[in-house]
């Protein structure tokens, strides 16, 4: 299957081009950049046959069945809608759009066109998280009481552009990382946060957008969730904990793009390490998307999942700005 890469991005270069090539018969065939010279250099550097500055050229190409969208966030909606209208299957980066309402338009359009729309939430593809989810589902920690997520990192120098200085491009740690944490919580608990409280901070690193956030989420089941996201923490290391009546899972360094981290199951018998599959998160995301196109199963994270993670992030932003506990509003997405 030929793919169109919409966006000459870092994430495509570092993870997704390789993840697409890892699927038998899948080829990143053409890349879109707004700058012809940069696009040509990018195509050459990553062995992509063609570069273009025309989205229409990609969408008119019948040999391209799927597109991967990894432009800055404000471009996702128009590019995805155009691709869907052209009959292409769409794997889109998170956040799906600038608002959950816009993202819901993508879901509705994909349903109407009969194409697959998936969100590239990588964490639910991690062997570490899959192993913890399995243990939780098997009753290893009893009834779940709470989840704590530590997702405060130091943003690498090469990513310190629009994420820190452009609200218009979807910058800020809330659209960037809270969406991942929301998707992770929804993956574990299989329910949608109903209300949030939050604070945010903008440090000297950023220009106008928040670069740290902390929030508390109320789940319909009563499970309590706390999350911490930041671009400014050099030494915090990431973590995930889920606590239950019969045990706790403590995981360090698992809110990451790599198949790494340590998991410990703690219960009345003491502390035991948990092993897991160290496969590529992004390869699994692409593999599930390709299988869904072939009619086998569903993507790891669907378009609906992308809408819901964004709705939680919106509520966190609103709660942080108003200082008020905020109900999460999930847009209508049709049947």
> Cβ of residue 144: shortest distance to ligand NDP, in angstroms?
26
118: left (phi over 0), alpha (psi -120 to 50) or beta: beta
Which of 182, 189, 225, 202 has its CA nearest to residue 314? Answer: 182
Task: Give the binding range for ligand NDP (CB under 6 A) out of 65-73, 98-106, 232-240, 298-306.
Answer: 65-73
Task: Give the binding range for ligand NDP (CB under 6 A) out of 8-16, 266-274, 286-294, 297-305.
Answer: 8-16
Nearer to ligand NDP, 37 or 246 (CB): 37
Count residues near ligand NDP (CB under 6 A). 21
Per the CB < 8 A criterion, the answer to whether 82 and 6 are in contact is: no
User: What does the per-residue mask of binding to ligand NDP show for 145-174, with x meaning CB under 6 A?
Assistant: --------------x-x-------------
Is residue 176 at the binding interface for ligand NDP, with CB under 6 A as the rule? Answer: yes
Is residue 72 at the binding interface for ligand NDP, with CB under 6 A as the rule? Answer: yes
> Cβ of residue 154: shortest distance to ligand NDP, in angstroms?
15
Is residue 9 at the binding interface for ligand NDP, with CB under 6 A as the rule? Answer: yes
Q: For the sheet containing 2-6, what is the strand order?
A: 50-52, 27-32, 2-6, 64-69, 89-92, 117-119
Is residue 11 at the binding interface for ligand NDP, with CB under 6 A as the rule? Answer: yes
Q: Which residue spans within 141-298 are E strands per DSSP? A: 144-152, 195-201, 212-218, 224-230, 239-244, 247-252, 262-267, 270-274
Q: Restricting to residues 111-130, name those near ligand NDP by CB under 6 A.
A: 120, 122
Per the CB < 8 A criterion, the answer to whether 303 and 96 are in contact is: yes
Residue 203, C-beta contacts closer than 8 angstroms, at least 6 positions apart: 211, 212, 232
User: What does the per-residue mask of binding to ligand NDP show for 80-109, with x meaning CB under 6 A?
Assistant: -------------xx---------------
> Cβ of residue 285: shortest distance to ligand NDP, in angstroms?
8
> Cβ of residue 12: shortest distance to ligand NDP, in angstroms?
7
Q: For the sheet containing 144-152, what is the strand order?
A: 270-274, 262-267, 247-252, 239-244, 144-152, 224-230, 212-218, 195-201, 326-327
Is residue 140 at the binding interface for ligand NDP, with CB under 6 A as the rule? Answer: no
Task: Give the binding range for ligand NDP (CB under 6 A) out of 44-52, 66-74, 137-145, 219-227.
Answer: 66-74
**What do you get for the CA distance between the two ends of the chain, in Å?**
29
Q: Restricting to residues 242-271, name those near ligand NDP by CB under 6 A.
A: 257
Is residue 70 at the binding interface for ligand NDP, with CB under 6 A as the rule? Answer: yes
Nearer to ligand NDP, 11 or 22 (CB): 11
Distance CA 265, CA 21 (A): 36
Which of 244, 158, 162, 249 has its CA nearest to residue 206? Answer: 162
Widest CA span of the chain, in angstroms?
A: 61
Binding residues for ligand NDP, rule: CB under 6 A, are: 7-11, 33-35, 38, 70-73, 93-94, 120, 122, 159, 161, 176, 257
């Amino acid at each position: 299957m030929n793919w169109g890469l919409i966006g000459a991005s870092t994430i495509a270069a570092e993870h997704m081009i390789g993840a697409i090539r890892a699927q038998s018969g899948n080829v990143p065939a053409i890349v879109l950049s707004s700058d012809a010279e940069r696009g040509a250099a990018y195509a050459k550097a990553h062995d992509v046959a063609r570069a273009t500055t025309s989205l229409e050229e990609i969408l008119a190409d019948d040999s391209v069945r799927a597109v991967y969208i990894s432009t800055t966030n404000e471009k996702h909606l128009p590019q995805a809608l155009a691709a869907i209208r052209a009959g292409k299957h769409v794997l889109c980066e998170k956040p799906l759009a600038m608002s959950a309402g816009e993202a819901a338009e993508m879901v509705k359009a994909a349903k109407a066109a009969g194409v697959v729309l998936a969100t590239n939430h990588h964490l639910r593809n991690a062997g570490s998280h899959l192993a913890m989810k399995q243990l939780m589902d098997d009753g290893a920690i009893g009834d779940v009481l709470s989840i704590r997520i530590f997702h405060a990192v130091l943003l690498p120098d090469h990513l310190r552009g629009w994420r820190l200085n452009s609200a218009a491009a979807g910058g800020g740690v809330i659209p960037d990382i809270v969406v991942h944490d929301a998707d992770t919580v929804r993956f574990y608990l299989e329910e949608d946060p109903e209300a949030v409280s939050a604070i945010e901070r903008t440090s000297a690193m950023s220009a106008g957008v928040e670069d740290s956030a902390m929030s508390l989420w109320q789940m319909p089941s009563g499970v309590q969730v706390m999350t911490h996201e930041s671009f400014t923490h050099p030494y915090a290391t990431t973590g995930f904990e889920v606590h239950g009546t019969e045990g706790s899972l403590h995981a360090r360094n698992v809110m990451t793009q790599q198949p790494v981290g340590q998991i410990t199951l703690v219960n009345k018998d003491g502390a035991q390490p948990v092993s897991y599959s160290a496969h590529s998160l992004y390869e699994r995301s692409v593999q599930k998307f390709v299988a869904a196109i072939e009619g086998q199963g569903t993507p790891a994270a669907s378009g609906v999942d992308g809408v819901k993670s964004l709705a939680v992030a919106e509520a966190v932003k609103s709660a942080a700005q108003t200082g008020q506990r905020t109900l999460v509003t999930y847009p209508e997405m049709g049947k």
